[in-house]
Amino acid sequence: MLGSSVNFFHLDCLSSEVRLNVDLDTVLTVLGKGCYRWLANQVHGFDLSKPKAVYRKFVETSGAVEIESGRRLVVYLDRRSHNPILREAQLDKDRIKIPWLANHRLEFVFS
């Protein structure tokens, strides 16, 4: 069952009145779980962490997102104690193309 494998970004937290929305909520739940697992695997020492812990330490932070005319999507992350761990994972080294966003390149910048 989906609910037993997703324990943080959970389907029950989302509300839906129309069947189409339930299907979308299910897809977003699975996608969210996959994103948290990917991030946890990229960061050294956090591959067994629960999604809630990954969210608290790495995702729940302030910053800014800027879309530049040169087909760049730049994510500026404010200073936090876990930024050195993210730097060590070298997420800011690869400028990944996002096909569904007109091939903009994703870049991370740490304060």
Tell me the pLDDT tens digit for each residue of 75-103. Answer: 888 888 777 888 788 877 878 888 888 88
Based on the domain organization, do 28 and 72 belong to the same domain? no
Location of structure tokens 């695997």: 41
Phi-psi region of 90 (alpha: psi -120 to 50; beta: other; left: phi over 0): left
Model pLDDT for residues 14-29, shown as the tens digit of each residue: 554 545 556 777 888 8
Q: How much is the pTM?
A: 0.62
Last residue of a domain, one of 17, 38, 60: 60
Owning domain of residue 83: 61-111
Domain count, the chain: 2
Report the 10 Å Cβ neighbour count for 39.
19
Let me know if 45 is exposed, middle or buried by CB neighbors in 10 A (0-12, 13-18, 19+).
Answer: exposed
Q: What are phi and psi of 57, to 5 degrees?
A: -90, -30
Based on the domain organization, do 52 and 7 belong to the same domain? yes
